[in-house]
Amino acid sequence: MNDRTRDKDYFSGRVLITGGAGFIGSHLCERLLERGNEVLCVDNFFTGRRNNIGHLLQHPRFELMRHDVTFPLYVEVDQIYNLACPASPVHYQFDPVQTTKTSVVGAINMLGLAKRLKVPVLQASTSEVYGDPSQHPQTEAYWGNVNPIGPRSCYDEGKRCAETLFFDYRRQHQLDIKVIRIFNTYGPRMHPSDGRVVSNFIVQALKGEDITLYGNGEQTRSFCYVDDLVAGMIAMMDTSSEVTGPINLGNPSEFTMRELAQMVKELTGSKSRLVHLPLPQDDPKQRRPDTSQASDTLGWRPTVPLNEGLGRTIAYFDDLLKVA
C-alpha cells in the first residue's frame, strides 16, 4: 500500500490515530470515519477527553483503546497518524520529562510499528521547532532558533528529535514517512484550561474576566481553524511515498495578540478589560508559516477566515460554560 499513490477515493483501510481523543485528534477521527475508514483511536487521556469522541463510540467503524505510546503497541493497521503529546505549555510543562518521553519514545514505538507493518506513518510536528524565529515567515528550510535547556524545551526539542527519528527511519529502513509542522490551531473541543491564547481569551471574555495579554500584546501568531488543518493532514497522508515533508500547515494570515483580543471582545460582546502580564521565557515574538509547499505539493490552502472560525469556537465554549 505504501508504494502507490493514495487518494481519498481509493483508501478505505484501518487507521491508527494516537492522541485521537485530543482536540485535533478527535476531529481527525471524525473526518476519517466520514470518508469510510475504520479508525483505531489510542489515547492515555492525560490531555485527551472522552467527551471529545463520545459521539463516535457507537460508530461501527470506530474503536477506542486506552494506551500510552511510551509503551509498545501491537495492532494491525494500514496507516498511522502520530498525534500523541500534550501541546500547550500548561500541560507539557506539568511533567516535562514525560513530555519528552512521549515525543521521543512514542515516535520510536510508532515508527517501529510502521516498519513491522510496512505502512505509512505521519508525524504531527509543530511550528515550535522553529523556536523564537529569526526568519519571518518561517519556511521548512529554516533550522530554527531554539533554547535547548529552557522551560519550553521538553516540547520543542522533543518534537525536533522526533523529526530526526522519522527521517533516520526513512534513510535507514526506507520507511514511508510524512512530517507536518502544525501552526496555531483552534476550534471546538479545545481544552478550556489549556493555556492557549484563543481558548484563554474566549473563556475570559465569556466570563467577563480580564483578558490577559503577555508583554505589550504586539507579538504575532497565525491561526488555522481545525477543519482546515485536518484537511491538510489527510491530503499529506494521501500523497505518494516520495513526499515526506516536512510541510508547514497553518494559516498565513498574521495577527497581533491585541488584535485577537479585540476581535474576541467584539464577537462575544464582552466588557472585559485588557490587562498586561510579563512575557513568559522563550515565548516567540513572531509566528507565521510560509505555506508555499503545502499549496504546491498538496493543493491545500486554509479556507476559514479567523472571524468565522472564532464564531464557531465561541459558540462551543459558550455551550460548555453553560453546562459547567
pLDDT digits (tens, 9 = 90+) for 56-113: 999 999 999 999 999 999 999 999 999 999 887 788 788 999 999 999 999 999 999 9
Q: What is the pLDDT of residue 140?
A: 97
CA distances from 69 to 105, 108, 139, 218, 321 (A): 8, 9, 30, 38, 32
- Report the alpha-carbon distance of residue 83 to residue 233 in Å, rounded: 11
- Report the alpha-carbon distance of residue 307 to residue 323 in Å, rounded: 25
Residue extents of the structural domains in the chain: 14-187+225-251+290-302
Q: What is the pLDDT of residue 322?
A: 85
First to last CA, the chain: 46
Buried b (16+ CB within 10 A) or exposed e, 225-259: bbbbbbbbbbbbbbbebebbbbbbbbbbebbbbbe
Residue carrying the nine cell digits 483505531: 40
Identity at 109, one-letter amino acid code: N
Q: What is the pLDDT of residue 324?
A: 63
- Report the alpha-carbon distance of residue 4 to residue 61 in Å, rounded: 24
- Report the alpha-carbon distance of residue 106 to residue 83 in Å, rounded: 10
Just list the catalytic residues.
155
**Element of type H or E holding 307:** helix 306-323
Q: Is the pTM of this model over 0.75?
A: yes
Which positions of the chain have pLDDT values less than 50? 1-8
CATH number of 14-187+225-251+290-302: 3.40.50.720
